[in-house]
Amino acid sequence: MNQSLVEKTILIDDSDIDLFIQRRFLEVYNFSDTLVLYNSAEDALGWLKEMKGEAAPDVIFLDLNMPEIDGFSFLNDFKKLPPEILRKCKIVVLTSSNSAKDREQAFSFENVIQFITKPIKQSDIEDLKVLINQDVPTK
């Protein structure tokens, strides 16, 4: 049996359809042992803040365009999480936006390792395999 790339992945997207498609895609490519889905950034942040001895996720797929707390607000709040979470989590922005400004702003956050315009493709997974196996660069 194929080894998964990572142990735990979180998908954050306000669209249930997009969450379903992303989850199925990541399952087919054996990306993660555990997939946790959130349709609000607020719920995901709440879970990250209240983790009771659980292992932090290895990868977070984050949509930018969401109501209430959007992806950039999530990234700002994420920076305030405990250091053990910040050290472990790599963030992949997965969005319908193809704006150069959004891309540049996303990469200004240290934990963001990739910016993917939906839909996710096999080539995106191949690129991620390389990025995930590298350490997050320190700025």
pLDDT attached to residue 54: 84
pLDDT attached to residue 2: 61
Residue 108 located in a structural domain? yes
In whole angstroms, what is the distance from residue 26 CA to residue 121 CA?
10
In whole angstroms, what is the distance from residue 90 CA to residue 61 CA?
9
Number of domains in the chain: 1
Angle at 75 between CA 45 and CA 107, to 5 degrees: 150
CB 72 within 8 A of CB 115: no
1-5, 8-12, 41-45, 125-129: segment of lowest average pLDDT:
1-5
Whole-model pTM: value is 0.93
User: Residue 63: what residue type?
Assistant: D
Percentage of the chain beyond pLDDT 90 is: 82
Q: What is the pLDDT of residues 13-54, one digit of tens each?
A: 999 999 999 999 999 999 999 999 999 999 999 999 998 778
Can you point out the beta strands (E) in the chain?
6-12, 32-38, 59-62, 90-95, 112-117
Residue 137 located in a structural domain? no
Residue 10 located in a structural domain? yes
In whole angstroms, what is the distance from residue 30 CA to residue 64 CA?
25
Residue 80's CATH number: 3.40.50.2300
